[in-house]
Chain A
Amino acid sequence: MEKFNKLTGNAIPIRITNVDTDMIIPKQFLKTIKRTGLGEYLFFELKFDQDGNKIDSFALNQDQYNGASILIAGKNFGCGSSREHAPWSIADYGIKCIIAPSYADIFYNNCFKNGILPIILDEETVAKLQDTAENTLNFNIDLEKQNITYLENNEQKEITFEIDPVKKKCLIEGLDDIGLTLNKSSSISDFENNQAKETPWLYGSKII
């Protein structure tokens, strides 16, 4: 997985609460057997109306946000399905960091598996950052220092954020979970041997 440490980029404000995974990536794009190429379908039904015309009022369609690498979203972002297509489409679009007051649990975890940093800040700060994003070209995100810095009216601003140290380390080092767990294969085998004695029916030979 790609390592995450520092990021500089502009941010797209999405002023909707409870953005669900069907909004992030509608189901007609889930029929892929690849992880890549989903970026163009990100927020598809918010970007285009039913006749395929661009909805100009939606931030992703506005030139000023071209090339943005940060989303600033409403609370309970990513609720709904477990589909990892949601973070895949976000990452494929070029977004590496999301800032929101809260996230749905599965989505939040899926972000870390895909090199996306989901930052949690209080609602008031997020709302203010959404306003700022309309005029500010660059936000600097430093995961090591756990801060967001930007210039506003020629004044340097800094906001710090909290993050679980384990999740932070995984992002910074770009760790491959599976490789790490496989190093513990013998513990897994020990567990299985023990479990087969304690609850043997789990290891029965029944097949369907």
Chain B
Amino acid sequence: MSAPKTLYDKIWDNHIVSINDDGTTILYIDRHLVHEVTSPQAFEGLRMSGRKVRRPEFTLATADHNVPTMDRDKGIADPDSKLQVETLERNASENNITYLPMSDKRQGIVHIVGPEQGFTQPGMTIVCGDSHTSTHGAFGALAWGIGTSEVEHTLATQTLIQTKAKNMCIKITGEVVDGVTAKDIILAIIKKIGTAGGTGYVIEYTGDVIKNLSMEGRMTVCNMSIEAGARAGLISPDEKTWEYLKGRPLAPSGEEFETAIKYWQSLATDEGAQYDEIVEIKADEIIPQVTWGTSPEDVVSIDGYVPDPKNASSDEKKRSIERALDYMGLEPNTPINEIEVNKVFIGSCTNGRIEDLRAVSKIAKGRKVEKNVHAMIVPGSGLVKEQAEKEGLDKIFIEAGFDWRDPGCSMCLAMNADKLKPQERCASTSNRNFEGRQGRGGRTHLMSPQMAAAAAIKGKLTDFRDL
């Protein structure tokens, strides 16, 4: 009998095409998502070398980073954005790749579209020229972000040359406190292990707390694996996974679905399998989390305070806190719940799904967005938008004074027209609070959808459970 294996080991082993003389592995890639920003140079490379896309049917393309989230009928105003989207459209058409255009209601953020269409399935290897590809790990798929050179390599060969990462297990024990979401869990994880804590590892998230999360919550957790430095995050697939996949357009159906489930069940980490690193986090200690600084590890509980550089553990840490405070315009020791915001962004591949919007609607219902706050809600896909409108959530949002928009990446990275102005402060459900991420000079505080909605109502960071 072979040695016990982790979920990661199994998916890896199932995709080895061959091992090169130098010890690297040619790994088969089952599915490839493509968007407009990181693909044009890859297609250009193929054209220049006279190479073809090996498996166009394993590739799915959509435009998300550059698309406008309002007045879509007027097209894309920015000429560079327009050219990038048109280039994707042309590249997809020339290479027989399925492309979901802006006018298609299935268009949206790649990492929302993949799961929605059943393109994402357990046991697969999935890549995309986007670091948040880790999202798909929620299905027990090995999914990671790649650069454009690797996009080209995948298009040409349907493989990548890889070196195996180490196994890390993050076990969330105990029970979550009421009101604590998947976002709070992943922020607490990043606080604990740091933005480089997962470098060189694939993280498998385990424990009852993770099991009890919905598929959408699991996606939120895996999505931010990259913010912990790990290329990929994984969660063992289970009944919830099959239930989610059943009936999706690209998921297997009928007898084949039953056969697939048997295979998917065999992927779970074997008893006795060895992880190179195990991290345990107690769920009971987590309350709603927010970031105060300019790195996703700058996390603090909502009842906490802005850190004081005087208490830093090293000179380097002190300098980095000072730099972050200066950028964020914050004073040391300020209570977090006194920080005022003038923008709110609800959306992104981290928190732009229907459950996120339902959670926001519960906070928004019967309340009003503070008059000095502009609060936008950007659904992750056209289908999320449609579902929300079917449930009447849009009416609740509009009634409360939220700005209800069309799907896309939007102000998560501010490549389209949606961006912060200098010194604007934003409560955001996205994944990165880097300097300039949401617009030059803009100040980002990351948090859950509930917390962002509460910030919109109160005009300041606040524990939504106290509303």
Which A residues are closer than 8 A to B by beta carbons? Answer: 15-18, 20, 22-23, 26-28, 30-35, 45, 50, 74-76, 79-84, 87, 102, 104-106, 109-110, 113-114, 123, 164-166, 169, 177-178, 180-182, 184-185, 187-188, 191-192, 195, 198-202, 204, 206-208
Given A81-B131, A169-B22, A202-B30, A106:B38 Cβ within 8 A: no
Contacts of A200 in B (CB 8 A): 256, 259
Spot the interface stretch: B153-161, B168-176, B448-456: B153-161
Q: Which of A28, A178, A208 contacts B157 (CB 8 A)?
A: A178
A102 contact set on B, CB distance < 8 A: 196, 199
Q: 8 Å CB contacts to A: which residues of B256-294?
A: 256-257, 259-260, 263
A106 CA / B195 CA spacing, docked (Å): 13
**What string of 1s and 0s marks CB contacts (under 8 Å) between B417-439 and chain A?**
00000100000000010111100
Chosen A-B contacts, 21 in total, with CB atoms closer than 8 Å, are A15-B319, A20-B434, A22-B435, A22-B437, A31-B78, A33-B44, A33-B87, A75-B196, A81-B130, A81-B131, A81-B145, A81-B413, A84-B41, A87-B147, A106-B146, A182-B156, A188-B28, A188-B157, A199-B263, A200-B259, A204-B256
B117 within 8 Å of A (CB atoms): yes
Which of B38, B57, B259 sits near A84, CB closer than 8 Å? Answer: B38
Closest residue on chain A to residue B22 by CB atoms? A166
Nearest chain A residue, comparing its CB with the CB of B79: A31
- A27 (CB) vs chain B CBs: closest residue: B415
Using C-beta atoms within 8 Å of the partner chain, give the interface range for chain B.
35 or more
Decide: A105 and B229 in contact? CB cutoff 8 A: yes
Having A81-B130, A109-B147, A200-B259, one finds 14 other A-B pairs with CB under 8 Å, namely A20-B435, A22-B413, A22-B432, A79-B196, A84-B38, A102-B196, A105-B199, A180-B161, A181-B157, A187-B26, A202-B121, A207-B57, A208-B117, A208-B249
Determine how close the nearest CB of chain A comes to the CB of B376; give it in whole angstroms. Answer: 18
A110: nearest chain-B partner, CB-CB: B147
Let me know if A166 and B24 touch, CB within 8 A. Answer: yes
Cα of A105 to Cα of B165 in the assembled complex, Å? 10
Task: Check if B123 is an interface residue, CB within 8 A of chain A.
Answer: yes
How far, in angstroms, from A64 to B414 measured CA to CA in the complex? 34
- Output the nearest chain A residue to B422 by Cβ-Cβ distance: A50
* Interface check B18, CB cutoff 8 A: yes
User: Are A82 and B17 touching (Cβ within 8 A)?
Assistant: no
Contacts of A81 in B (CB 8 A): 130-131, 145, 413
- B323 near A16 with CB under 8 A, answer yes
B256–A195 touching, CB < 8 Å: no
Q: Give Cα A167–Cα B153 distance, bound, in whole angstroms.
A: 17
Q: Identify B18's interface contact among A31, A182, A184, CB under 8 A.
A: A184
Q: Pick the contact of A110 from B98, B149, B158 — CB < 8 Å?
A: B149
Which 10 A-B residue pairs are closest in the complex by CB-CB distance? A201-B252, A31-B80, A113-B149, A33-B40, A84-B147, A82-B145, A110-B147, A84-B148, A166-B22, A82-B131
Are B263 and A178 within 8 A (Cβ)?
A: no
B residues within 8 A CB of A192?
A: 28, 158
Partner of B84, one of A16, A23, A33, A180: A33
* A23/B229 in contact, CB under 8 A: no
- Measured CA separation A43–B447 after assembly (Å): 28
A201–B245 CA distance with the chains assembled, in angstroms = 13
CB-based nearest A residue for B57:
A207
Q: How far is the CA of A166 from the CA of B78 in the complex (A)?
A: 43
Q: How far is the CA of A34 from the CA of B43 in the complex (A)?
A: 11
CA distance A10 to B87 in the complex (A): 39
In the assembled complex, which residues on chain B have CB atoms less than 8 Å from the CB atom of A208?
60, 98, 100, 106, 117, 249-250
Q: For residue B116, which residue of chain A has the nearest CB?
A: A208
Distance in Å: Cβ of A177 to nearest Cβ of chain B:
6
Closest A residue to B441 by beta carbon equals: A50
Contact B159 A105 (CB under 8 A): no
Closest B residue to A48 by CB, please name it.
B440
Residues of A within 8 A of B159 (CB): 181, 188
In the complex, whether B295 has a CB less than 8 A from a CB of chain A is yes
- Whether A207 touches B195, Cβ cut-off 8 Å, given contacts A26-B436, A50-B422, is no
- Chain A residues lying within 8 Å of B146, measured Cβ to Cβ, are 82, 106
- For window 80-101 of B, CB contacts with A under 8 Å fall at 80-81, 83-84, 87, 98, 100
B403 CB–A CB distance under 8 Å: no
CB-defined contacts of B124 to chain A, threshold 8 Å: 202
The answer to whether A79 touches B24, judged by C-beta atoms less than 8 angstroms apart, is no
**For residue A74, which residues in chain B have a CB less than 8 angstroms away from its CB?**
316
Asked if B252 contacts A204 (CB within 8 A), the reply is yes
Q: What residues of chain B lie closer than 8 Å to A187, measured between beta carbons?
A: 17-18, 26
Measured CB to CB, the closest approach of chain A to B289, in angstroms, equals 19
Query: What residue in chain A is nearest B130 (Cβ atoms)?
Result: A82
Using known A-B contacts A22-B434, A106-B131, A201-B259, determine if residue A83 contacts B37 with beta carbons closer than 8 Å. yes
Q: Is B51 an interface residue (CB 8 A)?
A: yes
- Taking a contact as CB atoms under 8 Å apart, the answer to whether A84 and B17 are in contact is no
